[in-house]
Amino acid sequence: MSATPALTGPPTTAAALSRTALWLILGLVLLADALDMIDATVTNIAAPTIVGDIGGGESLIKWLGSAYALAMGVLLVVGGRLGDKYGQRRLFLIGMAGFTAASAVAGLSPDPALLVVARAVQGAFGALMIPQGMAILTKTFPRDMLRKAFQLFGPLLGIASVGGPVLAGFVIDADFGGLSWRPVFLVNLVLGVLGLFAATRLLPKDDGDHRTVVDGRGAGLLAVTMFGLMFGLIEGSTYGWGALSLGSLAVGLVFLALFARRQRTAASPLIKPSLLRNKGFTSGLFVGLLFFAVTSGLTYVISLFLQQGLHASPGDTALGMLPLTLGIIVAAFAGMGLAAKLGRTLVLIGMLLTMAGAGWLLALVLTSGLSVSLWALAPAVFVTGLGMGACFGTIFDIALGDIDPDEAGSASGSLTAVQQLANGIGSATVTTVYFHFLADGSVHAMKISLLVVLAITAVCLPALRLLPLKAQEGVGGH
């Protein structure tokens, strides 16, 4: 759930559209974001079944989520700039068409390599599609409707995050046509075609501003940085820390330094240097990176523990994960009214609730082991979801609290990209910890993973004091 851009000016094309057309456009944008949210989460449930069908082992489990998030995160800011340059409508259509086609390839993949490539292509085209929705809404909606629209994102995308894993679990159990996990991706063909049909009819035409500069070199450096670090991490944790994995990590670090240098020297950098001198923004960047990483990894590990440790079916695992997302939805609705009053205190409450839920899970795992039931886990999973929901959106909205208006677009895009990259890093890192200790049993692996989550979340707490006290007026979480 990404950071919402500040409301900085009146729309440019709203007068030409009826209110009915505007709400239909909102529905289309929500569909695009829901497709992203669903596909970012379905593999949390589907991964063990996919590996059981086409092979790939631990490495495929790690790459299924990471490939999608890596491509999405690296290209997200560039996708927004391309929309400014060539027109949001054009990029939205290209993004949805490519996302739909890549979903078909993913659903029909006969081997792990093609599936990982398809997941990366999904993320890449998603990065072209998702930023355009916010820009289109900002240009077309009157301010009063825009505020209402932004308030819908958190709860509705929370519901989409429920739909992803639950859909995956029940679809796999149903085994439609003997296709097992494949309809999890193939359903996007129906949704994508409907979205394309609606987009061609609803979205206003715009030519973009061809004077907009897109820093392709900076995006390339960031792509090599993240791929090097993630490949090294996954390769090393799966096959041992040899020359290939260590070399990949070293390449990632070198290109990270080159990317940082590029941000200081480029005429139109992906991240404005002034933002990195803003302690509130950089603190939000740091806290968001760590928190979204560990919660993404925690979600993945809970699913693995339920399926591999407790031997729950995909459908039962989906039900076992349902309290997590229900907690996210409840907290997202509550946060709509509390964020303005509590400010960064709401983030503190959310992190403490997340730690309480993870600690409760740890106690249950240690005391009951593999005899623990899904019903016994449900309250702890729900509390964890409450904590995550209180922080999703709120962290980044508050991080934008004291930036200048002309920095809002760059800042919001950067934070959203960091969130996607954190999802990829977290799913790779925490599952790496889980698999590393799995030789000593699922209980031990789950215990260490939860301790890592608790430790990293605790590291975030002191940095909260550096965040702005509250979000900017007119910024709403989603």
Q: What is the pLDDT of residue 354?
A: 95
Nearest CA to 18 out of 145, 135, 129 is that of 145
Residue ranges per structural domain of the chain: 14-214+268-466, 215-267
Q: What is the pLDDT of residue 8?
A: 44
The CATH number of the structural domain formed by 14-214+268-466 is 1.20.1250.20
How far apart CA 295 and CA 364 sit, in angstroms, is: 19
Strand segments, DSSP code E, in 39-159 are none
Other C-beta atoms within 10 Å of 143: how many? Answer: 13
Place of tokens 């239909």: 24
How far apart CA 17 and CA 411 sit, in angstroms, is: 29
CA dist 86 → 94, 142, 207, 264 (Å): 11, 24, 6, 26
| One-character DSSP codes across 126-154 | HHHHHHHHHHHHHHHS-HHHHHHHHHHHH
**Tokens, residue 412:** 């919001």
102 and 122 Cβ atoms separated by less than 8 Å? yes
Torsion 386-398-71-39 (CA) sign: positive
CA dist 323 → 62, 229, 316, 377, 386 (Å): 24, 33, 12, 9, 9
Enumerate residue ranges in the chain where pLDDT < 50. 1-12, 14-15, 474-478
Alpha helix (H) ranges present in 408-469? 408-436, 442-463
CA dist 379 → 158, 390, 421, 442 (Å): 18, 17, 29, 21
Kindly report the length of the chain: 478
Q: What is the pLDDT of residue 386?
A: 93
Half-sphere exposure of 85 (CA within 13 A, CB side): 13
Q: What is the pLDDT of residue 306?
A: 92
Q: What is the pLDDT of residue 305?
A: 93
Nearest CA to 286 out of 470, 459, 75, 409 is that of 459
Q: What is the pLDDT of residue 447?
A: 94
How far apart CA 392 and CA 4 sit, in angstroms, is: 12
**Tokens, residue 250:** 């070293």
Place of tokens 């990632």: 252
